[in-house]
Amino acid sequence: MSIPIAQWPRPSRRRRTRAAGFTPAGAGLTLLPVNEAVPASPPEPSDEALMLAYAGGDVAAFEALYGRHRQRLYRFLLRQLRDGALADELFQDIWQKLIAARATWTPEAAFATWLYRIAHNRLADHWRALQHRPPAPADADERTERVPDPDTPERQLSEFEQRRQLQLALADLPSEQREVILLRLEQELTLEEIGEVTGVGRETVKSRLRYAMDKLRAQLGPVAGS
């Protein structure tokens, strides 16, 4: 049986005042007016601000930097080395070098530029120790790419094959060309920043990128241009 509207219980004065957007004195709770805007969240601190904070002893700032950059840095190393164990080793070394140098860091360049400069130097030390370029792998390391589940098995196979072909084509590039193309396309550094990382001029960076893209297009055709 439905209750006629006239018989519905009327809200108490206390409930009516709360619904109007304020609280009677002594209630211990303050409600914002309905039309008052909620304050915006503060912007995320920049990498440089976090590094300065870490240099001053803020460990949480380092954790934030590590969370932002660990995946990209590891993928960069894995594409260069094509060896998971080596990538793990150099990854740890690079962060240890960053930790050791934190007190001397100054924001003269972007944090990412500085980080990848450390990575570049560590890779150079590794290649010098080997005294030869590593051979291209027979297949790509599956850890270099993680993609969402595709719509169909056919699409999954096609995307896997494209990634495999791209990784093999990257492995065939000279190390200096592979490095600049990864820094440009994956890390999204500018030509000037890549020059700072690798220690060469802007025109040299452009030349290496051009040769690398020409070789990738020759091997991959439409895939390289996509």
Q: Give pLDDT tens digits for 177-223.
A: 999 999 998 888 999 999 999 999 999 999 999 999 999 888 887 54
pLDDT band for 145, please (50, 70, 90 cuts).
very low
Greatest Cα pair distance in the chain? 92
Q: Where are the alpha helices (DSSP H) in 101-152?
A: 111-130
Name which of 62-66, 107-111, 151-155 the model is least confident about.
151-155
CATH of the structural domain 46-133, one choice from 3.30.1540.10, 1.20.140.10, 3.40.50.2300, 1.10.1740.10: 1.10.1740.10
Q: How far is it, in rounded angstroms, from Cα 163 to Cα 177?
A: 19
Its sign, for the CA torsion 106, 109, 115, 117, is negative
How deeply is 212 buried, as exposed, middle or buried, from its count of CB atoms within 10 A (0-12, 13-18, 19+)?
Answer: buried
Q: How far is CA 179 from CA 42, 107, 135, 215, in A?
A: 36, 24, 16, 14
CB 177 within 8 Å of CB 214? no
pLDDT band for 172, please (50, 70, 90 cuts).
confident
Mean pLDDT of 71-96: 94
With DSSP H G I counted as helix, E B as strand and the rest as coil, what are the percentages for the chain, rounded to 5? Answer: 65, 0, 35
Q: How far is it, in rounded angstroms, from Cα 181 to Cα 209?
A: 6
Round the average pLDDT of the chain to a whole number and report it: 77
Within the chain, strands assigned E span: none
* Total-model pTM: 0.64
* The pLDDT value given to residue 31: 52
Q: How far is CA 193 from CA 71, 105, 202, 220, in A?
A: 20, 17, 9, 28
Q: Which residue has the higher pLDDT, 154 or 189?
A: 189
Residues 6+ apart with CB under 8 A from 116: 73, 76, 183, 187, 189, 197
